[in-house]
A and B are shown apart, each in its own frame.
Chain A
Amino acid sequence: ETGVTQTPRHLVMGMTNKKSLKCEQHLGHNAMYWYKQSAKKPLELMFVYNFKEQTENNSVPSRFSPECPNSSHLFLHLHTLQPEDSALYLCASSQGASGSYEQYFGPGTRLTVT
């Protein structure tokens, strides 16, 4: 248990569905991240939030919509996804968002888009 939880752990959705991924951190950190891990590819950073403010959007399509209501919770809202969006989505947190702080990861949500 790393102090970062994600729900659901597995999700199957159709291309017309709307769903949300949830992440919660219990470490008192100020920064939270969404990463995408596709088969045979390195982890890709999607979004960064620092003190609830989005500080980076790494050219992510608008069908992915993040929300950070407070420093402990992070959501990723999904709508009209494509089959190529099937991947493992990982949430992480760190004390700060400067790139020099140790990041801790949740267990991930394995998403399949049919």
Chain B
Amino acid sequence: GIQVEQSPPDLILQEGANSTLRCNFSDSVNNLQWFHQNPWGQLINLFYIPSGTKQNGRLSATTVATERYSLLYISSSQTTDSGVYFCAVGRYSGGSNYKLTFGKGTLLTVNP
């Protein structure tokens, strides 16, 4: 199956700092999603980005499908950005390949 690696595993920032989270994957994909898991466990969709670049407020993401990586940028971080950020990839190769494969996540802590 597809392997997903996220880096760094942990990141501590001061409020206002910028950061870049990385997701590497081992095969071509049809789906790549970034999620933010808040302290209560809710997975919040940030981006659906199998290729290209998207921006949403202070967050943006870029996926370079040919090189099998995606980056999530967080600018001017706020304490509410704290939590775990997951990258998940999916690929349809016929048959019953229905799985979204998740990375282990990056734990982000933003201090005031």
Contacts and interface: CB of A to CB of B under 8 A. Distances in A.
A67 B57 CA distance: 39
Contacts of B103: 42
Q: How large is the interface on A (under 10, 10 to 19, 20 to 34, 35 or more residues)?
A: 20 to 34
A34 interface: no
Given A88-B41, A110-B41, A100 B92 contact: yes
20 contacts: A42-B104, A43-B88, A45-B98, A45-B99, A45-B100, A50-B98, A56-B98, A90-B43, A98-B90, A98-B92, A98-B97, A99-B30, A99-B31, A99-B90, A102-B33, A103-B33, A107-B41, A108-B42, A108-B43, A110-B41
Interface of B: 30-31, 33, 35, 40-45, 48, 50, 86, 88, 90-92, 96-100, 102-105
Interface of A: 2, 31, 37, 42-43, 45, 48, 50, 55-56, 58, 88, 90, 97-105, 107-108, 110
